[in-house]
Amino acid sequence: MPETQTIPLFVLPSGIFPKVSEPLRVFEPRYKQMLDDCTIDERPFGYISHNPDLESIGGWSQPSAFGVLCTVDDMQEQGTNIMFTAKGTQRFEIIEVIQSALPSMPFGDIYPTVDDLVEQYVEEDPEGKLYLRAKVRFVDDVEGELPAEEWATFLHDWANHIVDVNAMFRNENVELEQMLLVLEEEFLPYDTDSLWQVANAVLDKQEDRDAALGSTSLQELFTLLQRALGEKNAQLNFIRALSDAEDGS
């Protein structure tokens, strides 16, 4: 795979991580065109979050700095929708965004066909597309090593957090040993695949997810996970303290 490449972009509110699969539904003409191009040319696409700090161009939200190259799997039509699974592979960094050939337009409940929209721009921009594209640089996987005991400790802390959440909000009594066994069976022994899958589950804030995609070292990524879990526990403790205060009043 070349170091740089021009790829289609699928811009969504939240991104994906390498080694993670996600079911998606497409109904907009621009992304139907994208899927057609990907399947015909057997090409991947870039799954990337939008950048809320950037102004839209032509009515289209602009992408963040980092995304994940994805393959298209198990694609099927359901009425006017296209269902498929995006499988994350390699991270990339945006070098240059290629804007859509047409601005965003309000279609209401009925969308025009891809061919109808292509007719509006094909003479002036024969190479144009309805979707955003970008010239990207592919990013190597995170480097470094993580001691097995640190990973095991994190899984224990995460299991404990899940047990606390279930007890507080769902009135479910899940045993710590039971939850820890589930996580250990899924994520031990440690490898980078497990690290990305855990990141997808633990990192909620978009800025944390973007920072994870831009991380260069394993320790940098693991520190993000530890901090995010610590923030979750702090929020849980705050809610617990408020609840205890109300019960005591």
pLDDT per residue of the chain (249 residues) written in tens, 0 to 9: 457 899 999 999 999 999 999 999 999 999 999 999 999 989 999 999 999 999 999 999 999 999 999 999 999 999 889 999 999 999 999 999 999 999 998 887 788 999 999 999 999 999 999 999 999 999 999 999 899 999 999 999 999 999 999 888 877 788 999 999 999 999 999 999 999 999 999 999 999 999 999 999 999 999 999 999 999 999 998 888 887 777 665
Output DSSP code: residue 141: P
Looking at the structure, tell me whether residues 93 and 153 fall in a common domain: no
Other Cβ atoms within 10 Å of 234 Cβ, number: 10
Same domain flag for 124 and 163:
no
**Residue recorded with tokens 């057609």:** 36
Quick one: pLDDT at residue 27? 93
Q: Positive or negative, the Cα torsion across 10, 15, 17, 21? A: negative
Domain of 125 in residue numbering reads as 4-139
> 16 exposed, middle or buried (CB, 10 Å; 0-12, 13-18, 19+)?
buried
Residue 248's pLDDT is 62
Tally the domains of the chain.
Answer: 2
Same domain, 156 and 191: yes
Please check whether residues 8 and 119 belong to one and the same domain.
yes
pTM, to two decimals: 0.90
pLDDT at position 243 = 72
Look at strands 81-98 and 133-139 and give their pairing: antiparallel
Indicate if 199 and 85 belong to the same structural domain.
no
Tens of pLDDT along 68-120?
Answer: 999 999 999 998 899 999 999 999 999 999 999 999 988 877 889 999 999 99
Answer yes or no: do 39 and 128 share one domain: yes
Residue 29, SS3 per DSSP: helix
